[in-house]
Amino acid sequence: MAADETEGEVPDGAPWWETAVFYQVYPRSFADSDGDGVGDLEGIRGHLADLAWLGVDALWISPFFRSPMADFGYDVSDYCDVDPLFGDLAGFDRLLADAHALGLRVVIDWVPNHTSDQHPWFVDASSSRDSPRRDWYVWRDPTPDGAPPNNWVSAFDLSAPAWTFHEPTGQWYLHLFEAAQPDLNWDEPAVEAAMHDTLRFWLDRGVDGFRADVVHGIGKDPALPDDPPEVAGVPHCALNDEPVTHERLRSIRALVDGYPGDRMVVGEVFLLSTDAVATYYGRGDELHLAFNFPPLFAPWRADRWRACIEDTVRALDPRGAWPTWVLANHDNPRPRTRYDRAAARAGEDAGTTARRSEARARAAAVLLLTLRGTPFVYQGEELGLCDAEVPPDRQVDPGGRDGCRAPVPWDATGDHGWPTGSGVRTWLPLPPEADTRNRASEAADPDSVLHLYRRAIALRRSTPALVRGSCTLLDAPDGVLAYRRSVGDGVAEGSATDGDTVEVLVNFTDGPVEVTPGGTVLLASDDPSPEARFTGVLGPDRAVVLRR
């Protein structure tokens, strides 16, 4: 097998966010302590031990701030308070203290591109054209023909403009997302200062960092030009890539790095190319980490994953930017659902899809947790959940993302750990197979997806080559992705000091594939106690980690 692509090693002393496994908590759907059918901070606190058992190092908690919930918390009306639905500040402090006591870092969501239209800043700004806060948002005069100021479309409804006409004051305001989410104007220094204060508020409380929502939105071309015709209809949030943003990120970096204790920012730079994302971080500049979404959208195909890995190496490595890997989040169909739907579209029969579904998700988990970079696990991914079927009368999200946000089933009881009382039901229906595919049932079954995640995370933690080793793509038969991870001198002694090398093989096909035999099987996606010596036959949709 010939090597054709290598990423460098990370020097010793890598910061925690480069060696951590992150776990995303979507608080509405994680766990409910008060029986109102919506998750809350006490619910999260009650399950911290489960997350420590899983072996993750850090939590990213999606928004729990005061919000009218037009976008389920991504429309913030007070950045410095907890929405009563989720608890209160004292409850957050308890959650943070308990997480830290268990060795879990806590990163919270920060939504700098827009506020809620109920935020006092927007209430003030929209009260009059003369409001001192008028320029905190992006206003434009009416055009002669009554059309919106430019051709930008809103992210959730591509047929709708990213502008709403505000009758009382006779101007349009910009919103890349819902009308209830007016964009802040970061060209106004007071906005930047106020948003910095919101960071300080949480840093002072002890959070380990932030996941910064659509953070590339904080700089926009002040001329607000039309998007070119060839991309008209693509949400502007996926195109906005302005030089001024980099300066603003440097200020944020300086603020965050000014705090003791290695705080960090992982940015959601929702641009369509890895090359573009790469310009937002690296070598201590701007963001600490940035999400890279092409792997999340990649189909279950070896060549496409290989291309994602090659692109990542090519774009990030020269900049010293550390990769991140994501299979799932609260905005996209879960991996099983995504792969199943793609297979159905490609003509796979339903029986085959049913047989392959979990196997594909298991093999993908091995990929996620063995690639070079920081993995992010989305709650419920470790249970192998599919999206919920959400009937029309229960759909609530303006972006059509309800399915992946279904509540996490905790046990096999009737309510699956969501204690709902008199007529209360969970805010979204539970995912399929909750009777068997729940935390308690999977914890009791060593063959479960949950235990696979736990084993893979544990292997990662105990294998220096997987945490910080170089990654070399290897030649492999069609439909197989193979890579080698190495630290030190590359001698396969299994000792951290002497160097360490492991090999990962992933079969994306529905048939067995012959590869080079030999080596010890450290982890297999389909078997808690796999064969000791690798036979060279890689089963369908199977991933193995070997020490050759």
Contact residues for ligand TEU, defined by CB under 6 A = 71, 74, 111, 155-156, 177, 213-214, 235, 237, 268, 270, 330-331, 399
Residue 381 carries which side chain, given as an amino acid letter? E
Q: Which letter, b or e, does each residue of 105-138 get, where b requires 16 or more Cβ atoms within 10 Å of its Cβ?
A: bbbbbbbbbbbbbbbebbeebbeeeebebbebbb
Please give the Cα distance from 84 to 191 (Å, whole number). 26
Using CB atoms, what's the residue nearest to ligand TEU? 74
- Pick between residue 139 and residue 270 the one whose CB is nearest to ligand TEU: 270
Burial of 518 (0-12, 13-18, 19+ CB in 10 A): exposed
326 and 356 Cβ atoms separated by less than 8 Å: no
Tokens 């268990």 map to which residue? 102
- Pick between residue 180 and residue 524 the one whose CB is nearest to ligand TEU: 180
Annotated active-site residue in 183, 213, 358, 500: 213
Least spacing, CB of residue 303 vs ligand TEU, in Å: 25
Annotated active-site residue in 40, 71, 178, 268: 268
DSSP tag of 114: B
274 and 316 Cβ atoms separated by less than 8 Å: yes
- Active-site residue flag, 531: no
Q: Would the CA dihedral through 231, 233, 234, 236 be positive or negative? A: positive
190 and 134 Cβ atoms separated by less than 8 Å: no
Structure tokens at 266: 């992982």
Least spacing, CB of residue 211 vs ligand TEU, in Å: 9
Q: Which letter, b or e, does each residue of 235-268 get, where b requires 16 or more Cβ atoms within 10 Å of its Cβ?
A: bbbbbbbeeebbebbeebbebbeebeeebbbbbb
483 and 503 Cβ atoms separated by less than 8 Å: yes
- Pick between residue 71 and residue 286 the one whose CB is nearest to ligand TEU: 71
- Pick between residue 271 and residue 467 the one whose CB is nearest to ligand TEU: 271
- Active-site residue flag, 71: no
- Pick between residue 185 and residue 501 the one whose CB is nearest to ligand TEU: 185
277 and 326 Cβ atoms separated by less than 8 Å: no
- Pick between residue 122 and residue 508 the one whose CB is nearest to ligand TEU: 122
For the annotated catalytic residues, the residue numbers are 213, 268
